[in-house]
């Protein structure tokens, strides 16, 4: 696993900035709770079904811990000065990482995720020297799949029982992006 440099601040364009978490900010904590209570987040993640302030505090504390210990690079997706989600890279041996991202409902459908993921990937390839990144999600999470494809990921396939969700195995899709691939938004329409 690579050592992580200090958490950066990255301008993703269009009013989207990636920045370190603010674990002691009441507004940020409230927004994390709102995001994780959203039915779509509940449907596609393994977070507690009853998401409370204590869960948000643990989530942001884990993000800070990840930077210190070098096993999780989480940045807040800040849109016009407000918390609107997170993006992260989980470094692995062999110069690889796994990508994760999630948005607050107020930020969806406007290209925010694509901007944020593109900026994080560019940083990961450049600052961490990554050779490749994997992404995976529930096969029914088509919104996340569209983001991954817009960011240049190649879908490697559907994997039966890839993910564990609330005690049940569900089919997943897995995709990869190599440092040598075209990085950045790619128009896959048409």
Task: Check: CB of residue 31 under 8 Å from CB of residue 82.
Answer: yes
Q: Has residue 75 got a pLDDT over 70?
A: yes
Domain span at residue 93 reads 10-134
Q: What local confidence, expressed as pLDDT, does residue 45 receive? A: 86
Q: What local confidence, expressed as pLDDT, does residue 167 receive? A: 84
Q: What local confidence, expressed as pLDDT, does residue 1 receive? A: 52
How far apart, in Å, are the Cα atoms of 109 and each of 11, 21, 113, 115, 135?
A: 19, 23, 9, 12, 20
d(CA 174, CA 177): 11
- pTM (predicted TM-score): 0.91
Q: What local confidence, expressed as pLDDT, does residue 3 receive? A: 76
Q: How many domains in the chain? A: 1
Q: What local confidence, expressed as pLDDT, does residue 188 receive? A: 43
Residue 48 covered by a domain: yes
Give per-residue pLDDT as tens, 12-70.
999 999 999 999 999 999 999 999 999 989 888 888 889 999 999 999 999 999 999 99
Residue 77 covered by a domain: yes
Q: Has residue 189 got a pLDDT over 50?
A: no
Residue 178 covered by a domain: no
User: Could you tell me the pLDDT band of residue 190, with boundaries at 50, 70 and 90?
Assistant: very low
Residue 107 covered by a domain: yes
Residue 168 covered by a domain: no
What residues have CB less than 8 Å from 179, skipping those under 6 apart? 125, 130, 131, 132
Least Cα distance to 21 among 33, 32, 5 occurs for 32
Q: What local confidence, expressed as pLDDT, does residue 182 receive? A: 60
CATH number, domain at 42?
3.40.630.30
Residue 157 covered by a domain: no
Q: What local confidence, expressed as pLDDT, does residue 181 receive? A: 87
């Amino acid at each position: 696993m690579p050592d992580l440099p200090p958490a950066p601040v990255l301008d993703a364009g269009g009013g989207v900035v990636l920045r370190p978490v603010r674990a002691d900010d009441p507004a940020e904590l409230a927004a994390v709770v709102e995001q994780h209570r959203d039915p779509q987040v509940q449907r596609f993640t393994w977070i507690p079904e009853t998401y409370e302030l204590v869960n948000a505090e643990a989530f942001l504390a884990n993000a800070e811990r990840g930077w210190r210990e070098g096993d999780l690079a989480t940045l807040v997706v800040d849109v016009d000065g407000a918390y609107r989600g997170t993006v992260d890279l989980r470094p692995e041996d062999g110069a690889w990482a796994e990508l994760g991202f999630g948005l607050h409902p107020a930020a969806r459908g406007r290209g925010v995720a694509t901007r944020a993921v593109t900026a994080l990937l560019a940083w990961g390839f450049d600052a961490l020297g990554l050779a490749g990144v994997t992404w995976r999600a529930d096969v029914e999470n088509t919104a996340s799949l569209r983001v991954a494809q817009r960011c240049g990921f190649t879908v490697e396939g559907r994997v039966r029982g890839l993910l564990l969700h609330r005690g049940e195995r569900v089919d997943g899709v897995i995709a990869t992006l190599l440092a040598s691939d075209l990085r950045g938004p790619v128009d896959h329409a048409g």
